[in-house]
Chain A
Amino acid sequence: MTNSRSSASPEAPAIIPAEKAFALAAEGLVKRFETVTALNDFSLHVQAGEIVGLLGPNGAGKTTALRMLAGILTPTAGRVSVNGLDLHADPLVAKQHIGFISGDTQLYHRLTPREVLRYFGRLYGMAEDLLAGRIEQLVSELEITSFADRPCRTLSSGQKQRANIARAFLHQPDVLMLDEPTAALDVISGRFIIEAVRRARAQGGAILFSTHIMSEAEELCDRIYLLHEGSIRDHGTLAEILARSGCNNLTEAFLRQALQGREN
């Protein structure tokens, strides 16, 4: 986007060697809206083949963080790199590596899932023949066939979210960001998405998964960041976090962190 004024030049990507190992890395992100600080000193990294959970209650700053990581919002301070590319210096190239889904994202009502996929494929600069093949592959893999040619406004939320996943997977991004993707879904549709995310990890994708559902995080994530009131309170594997907090499950560990934060 034009948030960054320098233009993208695919020939000369800005390489940040120190972060090259990480598919996604954020360093010291700060986001202020007028007087409110939504996110403070937020650092995070995700490696290829790893699902990282961003866990926090409503209003913790998860969506703000993910939007900055996806290049939709410009951070007040700090930087984001995607596969070593500086997201805000080189947004057009860096965004090619990102797939983004959020729970509230809708599709174009009057287009069919197939048309939506074709549209985004073109925006991502995919070649037409490659795109056609990729669409067919996703339509069958994600079981979209039965509703692939119906206008999106006639689809159920589960179907919509499946089409949305197809859209996010379409350009084969190395980094997937999911912002509470199961929020509005029933158990079966939710499960379907979890499985899709697992498959993406198996294929070497780096996945950042935000949720406020603790059990989902426990089940799915290799590492977890606990976010509360705009700053990260703890991070590590599930076992590490539980050990540090001395709790039996993530919910209790989280509550303890949250209360500690308040006492401090």
Chain B
Amino acid sequence: MRWHIIWTIFRKELTEALRDRITLVVLVGLPILIYPVAIFSAMQMSKHQSAVEDHRVFKVAVWGVGADGLFDWMRPATNRVALERWVGIEEPLRKDFETGRVQPPTQTNASPERPNLQLGNRSMKLATEPEDAVLKAAREVVSRRQADAVLIIWPGFDEAVRRQDSGQVAVYYDSVIPQSGQAWARLSGQLANYREQLRQDRVHQRQLPSGFVRALDVRGDDVAPIQRQLSDVFGRALPVMLIMLAVVGALMPAVDMTAGEKDRVTMQTLLCAPVRSLEIVGGKFLAVWTISLLSAGANLVGVGLTIGKIASALQVDMVHIGALVAALGLLLPATWTIAALFLAVAVLARDAKDAGNFLGATTFGVMLLVAVPLLPGVELDAWTCCVPLVNVSLLIRALLTGNVGVPLIFLTLVTSLAYASFALSLAARVFGREQNLLGGPISWRSFLRADGQGAPVATPGFALLVFAVAVAAMFYIGLWLAPYGLMVILLATQFGGFFLPSVGLSSLRKLPLRETFSLRRPHWRSVLGSVLVGLTASVTLAGLVLRWTPPPESFLREMQEMLRLGSDHISLWKLIPLIALTPALCEETLFRGLLLSGLRRWGALASIVLTALCFGLLHGSIYRLLPTFVLGLILGYTVWRSRSIYCSMIIHCLNNGLVAFVVWQSQGQDVDIKSVPWSLTLGALLATTIGLLLLRGPKAVSDAAIPEKA
């Protein structure tokens, strides 16, 4: 992979996209304008609306006799409820009220509100319930808008109030008519106040203490500060918003740069040029990502600033500029995942119309995944951080509410990067196929198969796939075998997760094992050098890396616990095979064997660094990342230079063995690995360097250029 080619393609795609004025306006210009306009006009509307509401006087028909006290209570103009007797009632029904023949419905034949002034509980009426005449007549009145609601004073109301019993009233309203609903809200409030008034009068008359009717005064207070409540709400809404913004930003460019290029018949020319499909896809991905980021960023800034403005007007300190920057940062994983996914899908399309359809379906899938975090109880953990898009969505929420650990953040970013890389390598595969140019149907099998002619070699895609298998295997083995102890987990992970998949999948793919795993007898100087490096690398690493980035004590204790396999009395003959020999065999087979040879075509530097990074990541802890990464660099260089995996196995075995031995010898006491004296450190560094310089290829082989085929 040549970065200048990727850069050239990226620049050209970006130039083209930015020259498309419509894209630019829709993706970047519009959002900046549209949010302030939309939100402010919505606010103005609702302000106006509520002003109108506040001054509206609701007309309430009152059916029933008496209740003059209630009328007096409602009379003040500030109540804005106008009670009018007998509005819209038919004469016979009025007669029934006056003669007291109407009865309140029984419990089974419940009216929308129980007639004893019990407020607030809105019960749904089933259609099968028999309806009484009052309800029917009231519905008529409300739906003909003769009144906003109907207040029924059931016969015997005055009498009951006088007896200091419950006076029965009912309110009929229609929740579908907004005005009727509002009338109910206001009326119920007034009725509650009236009830409170009656109650106080009664308590007063009987000279009871004020706490008599309120035997227990319960008060609940939410201790979460307003910011956290708001960020919880935002934490749920923001991931969905950010990912949808990324979708909007990535959609058009992804179609344009793949299917669009086919439509415009420029693809053929590009495929004539001496560039690899991975480079083309890489450049296009960077361009889609950039545009998606720009667009989503513009949207976010538009929303953020608008909400910030509103919040400051409401004097709520809600949107910090820091939060906005953080959200912009969170756009990175969201947009790179979406850009890679969309590009991989759009590449499959024959033309822009196809691509539009494919991406429409993909967007639907994306929405489903993004909505998962809205479900209650779904949190970011070791499981969910492995689900694409769900993990990014959950991470955004977790970061906003502030309850997430560094390892999970790290793991989420790594997995989302891994998914994006996987999507891109698939896209590159499709791009390299001729169906891409001809627009023929693409069989999924065909591009998972080895292509090209001649002897097969491990490809980067294949090597990374096996690495992904190893990561997944390690994760699940760790989970499932947890009860059986460290020893079982270690053996199962090393052999079942690393060794078998590497050798098995390579054999299945008919890769030449000698080439793939660098099974060559090393030069004697390489063996000597490896022994020297193996004996001194751990001291060098402890003396340099751990001195500069010291891990916490708790972590070191945990490590030592692990190096003793959880037991203080493990014998050395058990410890050395498990801690030294097994990883030397299994990890080297995967990393310096398959992965290094798979990535070889990307050049010495890239393949060694990437292999080391994978090696570091697989050790599953942010504190171990740097030391294992540096060890990975040493091991990778060793195999590249000596062309023999046995050399790195020697180093790995000696290195692990030495560390395990030191920990074993300490017999349960903490080993202070952070304070290696400088003299020892420098001595070890010198020896490691000499060891590395001693490395030689099996025969006289020039430095970097190792032929593909021996």
Q: Is B274 an interface residue (CB 8 A)?
A: yes
Interface CB pairs A-B, < 8 A, 17:
A5-B450, A5-B451, A7-B708, A9-B707, A12-B705, A67-B437, A72-B437, A74-B434, A92-B274, A95-B274, A100-B272, A106-B265, A110-B20, A111-B15, A111-B16, A115-B12, A123-B9
In the complex, what residues of B have CB within 8 A of residue A8's CB?
A: 274
Q: Is B483 an interface residue (CB 8 A)?
A: no
Q: Is A13 an interface residue (CB 8 A)?
A: no
Q: Is A91 an interface residue (CB 8 A)?
A: yes
Partner of B264, one of A67, A92, A109, A119: A109
A73 touches B434 (CB 8 A): yes
Segment of B366-374, B453-461, B471-479, B540-548 engaged in the interface with chain A: B453-461
- Which single residue of chain A is at the shortest CB-CB distance from B702? A11
A-contact bits for B269-294, CB 8 A (1 contact / 0 none): 11111111110000000000000000
In the complex, what residues of B have CB within 8 A of residue A6's CB?
A: 452, 454, 457, 708-709
Task: Show the binding face of A for B, using Cβ within 8 Å.
Answer: 1-9, 11-12, 33, 67, 70-74, 88-89, 91-93, 95-96, 98, 100, 102, 104-111, 115, 119-120, 122-125, 151, 167
Partner of A3, one of B274, B451, B705: B451
In whole angstroms, what is the CA distance A5 to B454 when docked?
Answer: 9
In the complex, what residues of A have CB within 8 A of residue B708's CB?
A: 6-7, 9
Q: Which 9 A-B pairs have the closest CB atoms?
A: A5-B452, A2-B432, A95-B274, A7-B601, A110-B19, A122-B8, A123-B273, A106-B265, A100-B272
What's the least CB distance linking B291 to chain A, in Å? 14
- Which single residue of chain B is at the shortest CB-CB distance from A107? B266
Quick one: given A33-B440, A107-B266, are A5 and B434 in contact (CB under 8 Å)?
no
In whole angstroms, what is the CA distance A70 to B264 when docked?
Answer: 20
Task: Show the binding face of B for A, using Cβ within 8 Å.
Answer: 4-5, 8-9, 12, 15-16, 19-20, 264-266, 268-278, 428-429, 432-434, 437, 440, 450-454, 456-457, 459, 601, 705, 707-709
In the complex, what residues of A have CB within 8 A of residue B278's CB?
A: 2
In whole angstroms, what is the CA distance A120 to B273 when docked?
Answer: 8
In the complex, what residues of B have CB within 8 A of residue A5's CB?
A: 450-452, 454, 456-457, 459
Q: Is chain A's binding surface mostly helix, strand, loop or mixed?
A: loop
Partner of A167, one of B269, B433, B454, B459: B269
B268 touches A1 (CB 8 A): no
A105 touches B268 (CB 8 A): yes
What's the least CB distance linking B280 to chain A, in Å? 9
In whole angstroms, what is the CA distance A38 to B159 when docked?
Answer: 102
Quick one: given A5-B456, A74-B434, A123-B274, are A108 and B450 in contact (CB under 8 Å)?
no
What's the least CB distance linking A78 to chain B, in Å? 11
In whole angstroms, what is the CA distance A58 to B11 when docked?
Answer: 38
What's the least CB distance linking A39 to chain B, in Å? 13
In whole angstroms, what is the CA distance A119 to B14 when docked?
Answer: 12
In the complex, what residues of B have CB within 8 A of residue A91's CB?
A: 274
A1 touches B276 (CB 8 A): yes
Quick one: given A72-B434, A111-B12, are A100 and B454 in contact (CB under 8 Å)?
no
In whole angstroms, what is the CA distance A206 to B457 when docked?
Answer: 34
What's the least CB distance linking B427 to chain A, in Å? 12
- Which single residue of chain A is at the shortest CB-CB distance from B8? A122
Quick one: given A9-B705, A123-B275, are A104 and B265 in contact (CB under 8 Å)?
yes
- Which single residue of chain B is at the shortest CB-CB distance from A105? B269
What's the least CB distance linking A29 to chain B, in Å? 13
What's the least CB distance linking A119 to chain B, in Å? 5
B707 touches A12 (CB 8 A): yes
In the complex, what residues of B have CB within 8 A of residue A167's CB?
A: 269
In the complex, what residues of A have CB within 8 A of residue B277's CB?
A: 1-2
B705 touches A11 (CB 8 A): yes
User: Which one of B266, B269, B433 has the highest number of Cβ atoms from chain A below 10 Å of its Cβ?
Assistant: B269
In whole angstroms, what is the CA distance A151 to B437 when docked?
Answer: 25
Known contacts A6-B452, A100-B272, then 12 further A-B pairs from the complex at CB < 8 Å, ordered by chain A residue: A2-B432, A3-B433, A7-B601, A8-B274, A33-B440, A72-B271, A95-B272, A120-B273, A123-B273, A123-B275, A124-B273, A167-B269
What's the least CB distance linking B5 to chain A, in Å? 6
In the complex, what residues of B have CB within 8 A of residue A67's CB?
A: 268, 437
In the complex, what residues of A have CB within 8 A of residue B268's CB?
A: 67, 72, 100, 102, 105
- Which single residue of chain B is at the shortest CB-CB distance from A122? B8
B272 touches A98 (CB 8 A): yes
User: Which one of B20, B272, B707 has the highest number of Cβ atoms from chain A below 10 Å of its Cβ?
Assistant: B272
In whole angstroms, what is the CA distance A2 to B462 when docked?
Answer: 14
In whole angstroms, what is the CA distance A76 to B72 when docked?
Answer: 98
- Which single residue of chain B is at the shortest CB-CB distance from A109? B264
In the complex, what residues of A have CB within 8 A of residue B452's CB?
A: 2-6, 74, 88
What's the least CB distance linking A106 to chain B, in Å? 4
In the complex, what residues of B have CB within 8 A of residue A72's CB?
A: 268, 271-272, 434, 437
A108 touches B454 (CB 8 A): no
In the complex, what residues of B have CB within 8 A of residue A106's CB?
A: 264-266
- Which single residue of chain A is at the shortest CB-CB distance from B460? A2
Quick one: given A6-B452, A7-B601, A95-B272, are A122 and B20 in contact (CB under 8 Å)?
no
A70 touches B12 (CB 8 A): no
In whole angstroms, what is the CA distance A111 to B5 when docked?
Answer: 18
Quick one: given A2-B432, A93-B274, A119-B8, are A100 and B457 in contact (CB under 8 Å)?
no
In whole angstroms, what is the CA distance A156 to B278 when docked?
Answer: 34
Quick one: given A7-B708, A12-B707, are A123 and B8 in contact (CB under 8 Å)?
yes
In the complex, what residues of A have CB within 8 A of residue B450's CB?
A: 5
- Which single residue of chain A is at the shortest CB-CB distance from B265? A106
In the complex, what residues of A have CB within 8 A of residue B456's CB?
A: 5
What's the least CB distance linking A153 to chain B, in Å? 9
In whole angstroms, what is the CA distance A6 to B433 when docked?
Answer: 15
In whole angstroms, what is the CA distance A8 to B265 when docked?
Answer: 27
A96 touches B432 (CB 8 A): no
- Which single residue of chain A is at the shortest CB-CB distance from B602? A7
What's the least CB distance linking A92 to chain B, in Å? 4
User: Which one of B16, B434, B437, B705 has the highest number of Cβ atoms from chain A below 10 Å of its Cβ?
Assistant: B434
What's the least CB distance linking B302 to chain A, in Å? 26
User: Which one of B273, B276, B453, B705 has the highest number of Cβ atoms from chain A below 10 Å of its Cβ?
Assistant: B273
In whole angstroms, what is the CA distance A125 to B2 when docked?
Answer: 10
What's the least CB distance linking B12 to chain A, in Å? 5
In the complex, what residues of B have CB within 8 A of residue A4's CB?
A: 452-453
- Which single residue of chain A is at the shortest CB-CB distance from B705? A11
What's the least CB distance linking B72 to chain A, in Å? 78
In the complex, what residues of B have CB within 8 A of residue A11's CB?
A: 705
